[in-house]
Each structure stands twice: as structure tokens, then as C-alpha cells.
Amino acid sequence: MQDVSFIDELLQEAESKEMQLTLAHYDLVVAEVGKLTNQIEDVFREADREVQIINDWAINKNAKAQERIEYLKMKLEKYIREQERKTLDLPNGILKIRKKPDKVEVKDLDLFLQNANEDMITVIPESIKPNLSGIKSVIKMSGRIPKGVELIEGQEEFSLKLKEVSNDTKS
């Protein structure tokens, strides 16, 4: 049997301590990775909070401008209606009043189908559905509204179309 020399014992002890130090070192590296990962998550959370603050500020700021736009549009609509005109072409935009098309809505499908003619329905194999444009045509031709159908008259609608303003006037 071979005796372990004093030097061999010292070497084994040194290697064992070195291995423990190496494991401790790598464990500290792992801890540092965890700390940096948490730091990154904190930065993103803070950025999200800042973005929300900026978005809230922008919404608040723009809400006031939007209210002003709605007020000014009401004034423009009132003016064009007082002038009894449908279109008014101005240097910065066009004011228009247009009647939206009438709409029909089938409220009671069974009642409608009992009284509908072939112009008022579309037959697709395995299904039958109302033909809304056909129903509108029948109403316009006959002047009567089929049972189970509601006529929703188109309302006049005001619109404002802004013209593009060129920046060529800057010198």
C-alpha cells in the first residue's frame, strides 16, 4: 500500500478548496445574471409607466382640441344649412350636406318570409336570407313596407373635407 505523502495531501486539499471556490464563483455569476434580469424587467416596467403617463397626457390634451373641433364643425354645419346649400367650396376645405341612403332592417324574419316575394329574398342552397336592396326596391316601387321589415330613412349628414395646405409659402 502506498502512503499518501504530505505534499499529495496538500495538493488534494488545495484542489478541493479550488473546486469549492470555483463553484462559489459560478454561483455568484448566476446570482449576477438574476440581478441583471430583474434590473431589465424593472426598466421595462418603468418605461411602461412613463408611456402610460405620456398617453394619458396626450389624450387629455387632445380631448380639449377635439371638443373645439366639434364646436367649430357645428358652427360650419349651421352656416351651410342657413345658406340652404348642399356644398360650399372654401379655400381651406369643402363643406357638404348629403343625405345618407335609406336602410331596411328585417325585425321579424318569419313574418317577413311569410309575406315576401321573390324580389325580396335571395335563395342560396340550404339557406334563405333577405335581399335588402331588393326590399328597398319593392318599397320604392310600391310605397308599402313589407311586414316584419322596418324602414330606416337616411338622415342628412354634414361633412368637412380639409384641403391639403402646401408648405411652399415658407421662404
Section 66-83 average pLDDT:
93
Q: Is the pLDDT of residue 165 over 80?
A: no
Q: Which helix (H) or strand (E) holds 128?
A: strand 127-130
Three-state secondary structure readout of 70-124: HHHHHHHHHHHHHCCCCEEEECCEEEEEEECCCEEEECCHHHHHHHCCHHHEEEE
Per-residue pLDDT at 44:
96
Beta bridge partners of 127: 124
The pLDDT value given to residue 42? 96
Residue identified by cell 403617463 is: 53
38-52 tens-digit pLDDT: 999 999 999 999 999
The predicted model gives 88-117 an average pLDDT of 88
- The answer, yes or no, to whether residue 138 has pLDDT greater than 90, is no
Beta bridge mates, 7: none
Tell me if 95 sits within 8 A of 131, measured CB to CB: no
CB half-sphere exposure, 82, CA atoms < 13 A? 6
- Claim: this prediction has a pTM higher than 0.85: no
Q: Which residue type sits at 159?
A: S
C-alpha cell at 30: 448566476
Q: State mean pLDDT over 7-20.
A: 79
Segment 22-32 shows an average pLDDT of: 86
User: Which cell goes with 56?
Assistant: 394619458
Give the pLDDT mean for 26-38. Answer: 90
Residue 171 scores a pLDDT above 60: no
Average pLDDT over residues 77-102: 91
pLDDT at 59: 93
